[in-house]
Amino acid sequence: MFKMFSGGSDDESWPLSKIVSALKSQYGAADALGEDGPLKVYGVQDHGVNFVVALMQSAPGSGKVVELGFFARFVGFPADARTIDGLNRNLQISNVSLEGADLFLMAGLRVTGAFNQKHFAVILEAWRNDLVATVRGLTGEMSSMPASAFPATKLAAARDFAVNRAIAPDAPEALPADMLSHFFGANAVKQVFCDECHGRGKRGLIARHCDECDGTGFIQSAAR
């Protein structure tokens, strides 16, 4: 699924403005970090984890995105070939590469069809799952593509923004595992249908409110 970000035809493309709007809606902000010809990169933060969203347009300034990608850079985490291989076997849309002391998590996709908010949300969720798997692997739960295959990694602003350090300089007492807890944040709990009322919110012939879910039809489950 990974593309080399070589550009492409705008026969199938997504409006850059809609993608950026969706990113801001999902994450609260999407900071423009720079551009290189048709490539535009944005910095995003999800519960304390930094990553970059790279948008390849059909031509400089066209506003028509033909490929999109993500990358996060992890610095100072212990990782070896075994860790990398284990991660790459479990990632959904991404690839992990170890470049010296830096570990890069990268994903690239060529867009298909018209832009669809729900379709894009699925891609963001798949990327988030790969981020979770990587953070887990690097915080103790635990043939790579080189970072040079992903042009966005060459932009200094993008490389700097995407850094996630094992120990923050201003919080040397923090443990790497804290990143995972923070990353889950408020999203650590999701809602599922109540087993007692099967999502109806009511039980019995007189349709009393279900005590198990307080009549909502949903209950909270464990972290995803």
User: Given this model, what pLDDT does residue 139 score?
Assistant: 76
182: number of Cβ within 10 Å: 13
Q: What pTM, to 2 d.p., does this model score?
A: 0.62
Tell me how many domains the chain contains: 2
Do 26 and 38 reside in the same domain of the chain? yes
Q: Is the domain of 59 the same as that of 150?
A: yes
Q: How many CA atoms lie within 13 A of 133 on its CB side?
A: 22
So what's the pLDDT on residue 101? 82
Answer yes or no: is 4 within a domain: no
Out of 5-19, 25-39, 91-105, 132-146, which region has the weakest mean confidence (pLDDT)? 132-146
Cα–Cα–Cα angle for 40, 44, 49, nearest 5°? 140
8 lies in some domain: no
Q: Does the residue 1 lie in any domain?
A: no
Pair (174, 195) in one structural domain: no
**What is the domain extent for residue 200?**
189-220
* pLDDT at 138 > cutoff 90: no
8-17, 44-53, 135-144: the lowest-pLDDT one: 135-144
Q: What is the pLDDT of residues 172-185, one digit of tens each?
A: 565 555 665 566 55
Query: What is the per-residue pLDDT for 170?
Result: 63
Categorize the per-residue pLDDT at 36 as very low, low, confident or very high, splitting at 50, 70 and 90.
very high
Question: Are 20 and 94 members of one domain?
Answer: yes
Query: Minimal CA–CA distance to 134: which of 168, 174, 179, 169?
Result: 179
Say how far apart CA 23 and CA 121 lie, in whole Å. 9
**Could you tell me where the beta strands, DSSP code E, fall in 124-217?**
163-165, 191-193, 202-203, 208-209
